Every structure is written in structure tokens, then in C-alpha cells.
Amino acid sequence: DIVMTQSPDSLAVSLGERATINCKSSQSVLYSSNNKNYLAWYQQKPGQPPKLLIYWASTRESGVPDRFSGSGSGTDFTLTISSLQAEDVAVYYCQQYYSTSALTFGGGTKVEIK
Amino acid sequence: EVQLVQSGAEVKKPGESLKISCKGSGYSFTSYWIGWVRQMPGKGLEWMGIIYPGDSDTRYSPSFQGQVTISADKSISTAYLQWSSLKASDTAMYYCARQRVAWLPGYWGQGTLVTVSS
């Protein structure tokens, strides 16, 4: 299986400040035939299912605020919240969908308000 | 609008069997993969497996192969996750999710809480 490692496990950011979450895969999730990174980001709030924010590493899902952005390629990826809002308090997960034998998630990063 | 509606919470005893469901609507049920994801209490997300209702092609995560069975009934647009003999360690929230692009889960059900306790 491809192992996804997120850092940090948690972070506290002041309202309006930038939050940055990292995700590293144990092998590349860049598919050479289409030059796409099979990497997604989710947001999960307590008591709710995960919500897809970003796919193909940097494509924002419809309706997702533009303060959320994804970047990276190959094995190293980043989710950035440019200006943290109160409603962004949640756990964020990365997921690779490159390996069709097992899609795997990172361990999650809890984002709180400082 | 794509909707996935899951069956209600279950409380079972160890050794009992269980089948939970996920009904899709608002799209062509036979044309998209549906997967299942486990979330144990206070823990992260684990991908269990996926089924293509059009031909019942099913793939399992190695961690869940042999532990659960994923199926679908396309006549009623419903996918299933079942256990033949539950264990206390199966206590978790289970989500179904429909493919968004490739195999990526993009549309999620509300979750079914399964509690296994003697």
C-alpha cells in the first residue's frame, strides 16, 4: 500500500492567518500518462462525513472557497488555507487514489483557532 | 442532485451478522463506483473497498479482504456492506461514497454507526 503521512498532527492558527498542512506519499502518485497527481484533500467537521475540497492535487471542488488551495507533485503535497475562518475548524485528510488496489488516507490534521 | 442515503444505526452482539445499505439517487447508479470507508471512534478514515454496480466488479483493500462483503442491487440503486460474524473491533462509523473522478470518493452518505457490544 501507498502510505500517506501528514504533518503536523494538529495546528492552531489565528483567525485571518495562514494554515499549511503537508502530506507525503511513500511513492509517487503522479500518473505519467496524463501528468495528473492522484491526490485529494478532505475536510471533516465533527459529526459530519468528509467533504471533498481538492482533487488532482490542486483542483478545487465546486463551491469550495478560494482560500483553500492545493499544491505539490509526485510525493509531496500541501493544503493551504490562506486566511483561516472560524468555520474552517475541522480535521483535514489527504488521500491518494493512484493505487487501485487500496486507496489510502493520511492520518489527519486537526486545525483549531489560536 | 447526487444523494447517498444510508441505513440507520445498528447495535449488535459479537458473532451476529449484519448488512447495512446505501441508496443512491440523482444519477445513473450503474455508471459510478461506490466505495465504503470505516472510521473507528476518534480515529481517521480507512478505505475498505469499492464496487461498480453496473457489473458488480468489486475490489477490497487488503486490510478488509475476507472480513466484509460488498455488494449492490442495481434494481433498487442500493449498495451494501455486510459482516457474517461481527467483532467488538467492528464498532465504527461506516460511510459509503460515490466516485467523483477516477476512484476518488466525492459524494458521501451520512454514515451508519455500528456498535458491537455484548
Classified as helix, coil or strand, B74 is: helix
Q: What is the pLDDT of residue A68?
A: 98
**Partners of B113 in the beta sheet?**
B93
Q: Which of A39, A92, A97 to mutate to test the interface with B (most CBs of B within 10 A)?
A: A97
Confirm if B15 and B85 have CB atoms less than 8 A apart. yes
d(CA B18, CA B12): 8
**B75: its cell numbers:** 434494481
**Does the beta-carbon distance from A50 to B62 stay under 8 Å?**
no
B10–A contact, CB cutoff 8 A: no
Which positions in chain A touch B103 (Cβ < 8 Å)? 97, 100, 103
> Is the predicted pLDDT of residue B34 greater than 90, yes or no?
yes
Confirm if A108 and A95 have CB atoms less than 8 A apart. no
**Does the beta-carbon distance from A100 to B103 stay under 8 Å?**
yes
> Is the predicted pLDDT of residue B15 greater than 80, yes or no?
yes
Ordered DSSP codes for A61-81: PTT--TTEEEEEETTEEEEEE
Q: What is the pLDDT of residue A102?
A: 86
Q: What proportions of chain A, in percent to the nearest 5, are helix, strand and coil?
A: 5, 50, 45
**Does the beta-carbon distance from B104 to A55 stay under 8 Å?**
yes
Residues 21-80 of A with CB under 8 A from B: 38, 40, 42, 44, 49-52, 55-56, 61
* pLDDT band per the 50, 70, 90 thresholds, residue A101: confident
| pLDDT per position as a tens digit, A8-67 | 999 999 999 999 999 999 999 999 999 999 999 999 999 999 999 999 999 999 999 999
Closest Cα partner for B82 from B92, B95, B67, B93?
B67
| pLDDT per position as a tens digit, B65-118 | 999 999 999 999 999 999 999 999 999 999 999 999 888 899 999 999 999 999
**Does the beta-carbon distance from B46 to A51 stay under 8 Å?**
no
Which positions in chain B touch A107 (Cβ < 8 Å)? 44
Contacts of B69 (CB under 8 A, 6+ apart): B80, B81, B82, B83, B84
Q: What is the pLDDT of residue A110?
A: 98
> Is the predicted pLDDT of residue A100 greater than 80, yes or no?
no
Mean per-residue pLDDT over chain B, rounded: 96
Q: Which of B46, B101, B103 sits opposite A105 (nearest CB)?
A: B46
| pLDDT per position as a tens digit, B41-61 | 999 999 999 999 999 999 999
d(CA B10, CA B76): 22
Confirm if B96 and B34 have CB atoms less than 8 A apart. yes
Q: What is the pLDDT of residue B103?
A: 85
Q: Which of A40, A102, A108 sits opposite B104 (nearest CB)?
A: A40
Closest Cα partner for B6 from B35, B32, B31, B30?
B35
